[in-house]
Amino acid sequence: MAGSQNQEENPVAINVVPMVDVIFCLCVFFMCSFKFKQIEGKFDSWLPRDKGLGDPNSLPNTLEELRVALFWDEKTSTVNRVLGSRRVKDDEELQKYIREGKADWERAGKPDTPVTIDGHKHVPWHEIVTVMNLCKRENIDTIEFAFGGGQ
Amino acid sequence: MSERFKPPDTEESVACNLIPMIDIMFLLLLFFMLGADMSAKELEDVELPKADMVKEDEDTTVEGGPKRTNVNVFHVHNAKGYTCEVKEGGGVCRDMTHWAIAIRANHFTIETLGPELAELASLDPEESTGGPKGGKPLSRREIMIRGDRNAPYGYIQGVIEQCAAAGLYKIAVSAARPEGS
């Protein structure tokens, strides 16, 4: 057992058994309470802007901004995304449209393309973050939120 | 009996050397103690949305600099042991009463969040008084929104609106890096 040292060889031996016990307990406590931190990052964003559109058929087709509208389908619990007046199937297509929109803006002499995200209140948050992520992939920094989208 | 054939001494001690074990235990203890988060629960257990383009989160809480407040939006089912059939089934819970907002482990609703944010905003006012047109005073405090990946956007939108009303305009959105990126 721990600490059973020859008293004749070392007359001032310390009994380390209680210390080992305490360290074991502390180790178990910290091991149980330990949690690996998730690596987090952030997106800077802008404050809400104007009113939401609400209706997918009423979306304007102007070059005032790149507006990504996200509609919530209650029946299928899925999200339908529309950029301008074009329905988007997947992330790749949305990124392609964003890239094209940005190129249009740059041709018009406006390098800072603003993207407004207009989501329905039931749209899952990760869908909004996905759109922000796609914008960042295309080096778009001006991302704004629409107020009261699809209420 | 001859001394040559003396049986082995059964009294001989067989003490094991504990020093290396104690050394390792101390190192383990040190690692877990330093890694343990004993601070106030600033960050709730939130399943963040994944995004590969998030920029590294720098510590903005430097001495004399603008402070940051984390606003957590999460499902109370995880925190309070409620049962939510939708959440249990892996669906998207849209019952607004199942979602909560927390700042430093204090829970708020959209309605009660406003006064708290206003108080936080008043702690870090902008140098110039009022906005560009002499409007309400702005705050240089940054708000980090840590929303659950399945939180309803309308709920988080409410948080952003309350931030705007309180003069907090530095809004950041938290996301997790996908594994391997």
Q: Give the residue extent of every domain in chain A.
A: 1-35, 48-147
Contact B175, B49 (CB under 8 A): yes
Question: Which residues does chain B have within 8 Å of residue A6's beta carbon, measured at their own beta carbons?
Answer: 13, 15
Among the residues of A8-124, which ranges form H helices? Answer: 17-33, 91-107
Nearest to B54 among A20, A33, A42 (CB): A42
Distance of residue B67 Cα from the nearest chain A Cα, in angstroms: 15
Q: Do B157 and A48 touch (CB under 8 A)?
A: yes
Q: Do B151 and A124 touch (CB under 8 A)?
A: yes
Nearest to A91 by CA among B147, B55, B50: B50
The topology under which CATH files domain A48-147 is Nucleotidyltransferase; domain 5 (3.30.420)
Going from N- to C-terminal start, the domains of chain B cover 68-173
Interface of A with B in 104-123 (CB under 8 A): 119-123
Distance CA A46, CA A112 (A): 14
Contact B33, A30 (CB under 8 A): yes
Q: Which helix (H) or strand (E) holds A125?
A: helix A125-137
- Written as tens digits, the pLDDT of chain B (181 aa) is 455 555 655 556 677 788 888 888 888 888 888 877 665 566 677 788 888 887 777 655 555 555 788 898 888 866 566 678 787 777 778 888 888 888 888 888 888 888 888 888 888 887 765 555 556 778 888 888 888 888 888 888 888 888 888 888 888 888 888 876 6
Question: Which residues does chain A have within 8 Å of residue B144's beta carbon, measured at their own beta carbons?
Answer: 42
